[in-house]
Amino acid sequence: MASFLGRYNALSLRRPMLTGMVSAAVLFGAGDVLAQQGVERRGLGKHDYIRTLRLSLYGGLIFAPIITRWYRLLERLPPSVTLTPRLGVMLKVGLDQFILTPGIIAVFYTSMALMEGEGGEEVKRRLGEAWAPTLVRNWGVFIPTQLVNFSVVPLHHRLLVVNVVSLFWNTYLSYANAQAQKDEPVRA
């Protein structure tokens, strides 16, 4: 395990975007597997592998590049804006959760609907029904996570921290999207 973490650390420093994309793809896919098998109890015979692929593609090709660039941008906030380390962390968490997150949740539901072959009406329906409950639940998970992440985690590991916490969050997202797809209310 130590050898794996050492290699991951080296790769995240040398190739942060690629490392983030691969780890996000794997963990988004794993979250979907947990949703289908652990929450929905589909059984392997009824597992929707295309759904798992969609979540993996979203995580690796959409989510990770956005978040990797976002974290670099937040890290470059000038000291005059952050004033103290504590204020800097609060500002980063605030920007992350109240500026980026509402949009990234909209991107998630839009991407899923489009990858499922749906059009604009379905995108609007999912956003109307699932976006707000998902955002509120996100704040409950990620405001505390990001307080720790921006306080003590080095920049090159922040996406990994989010991805690990996201393993469980992605399980919820996959389930919430499956419920939204069925036109059922999103439940916790």
53-96: pLDDT as tens digits = 999 999 999 999 999 999 899 988 887 776 788 888 999 999 99
CA distance 36 to 178: 9
Number of alpha helices (DSSP H) and beta strands (DSSP E) in the chain:
10, 0
In a domain, 170, yes or no: yes
In a domain, 28, yes or no: yes
- Residue 186 pLDDT greater than 60, yes or no: no
- 184 — pLDDT class (breaks 50, 70, 90): low
In a domain, 153, yes or no: yes
- 113 — pLDDT class (breaks 50, 70, 90): very high
* All residues at 6 or more sequence positions from 116 whose CB lies less than 8 Å from its CB, including other chains: 54, 181
In a domain, 188, yes or no: no
pLDDT for the residue numbered 36? 92
Instruction: Report how many domains make up the chain.
Output: 1
pLDDT for the residue numbered 183? 62
CA distance 159 to 163: 6
Question: Of 19-23, 37-41, 59-63, 179-183, which gets the smallest average pLDDT?
Answer: 179-183
Determine the structural domain holding residue 45 and report its residue range: 2-181
In a domain, 132, yes or no: yes
- Measured at the alpha carbon of residue 134, what is the angle toward residues 56 and 104, in degrees to the nearest 5? 55
In a domain, 187, yes or no: no
- Residue 187 pLDDT greater than 60, yes or no: no
- 109 — pLDDT class (breaks 50, 70, 90): very high
In a domain, 39, yes or no: yes
- 145 — pLDDT class (breaks 50, 70, 90): very high
- 155 — pLDDT class (breaks 50, 70, 90): confident
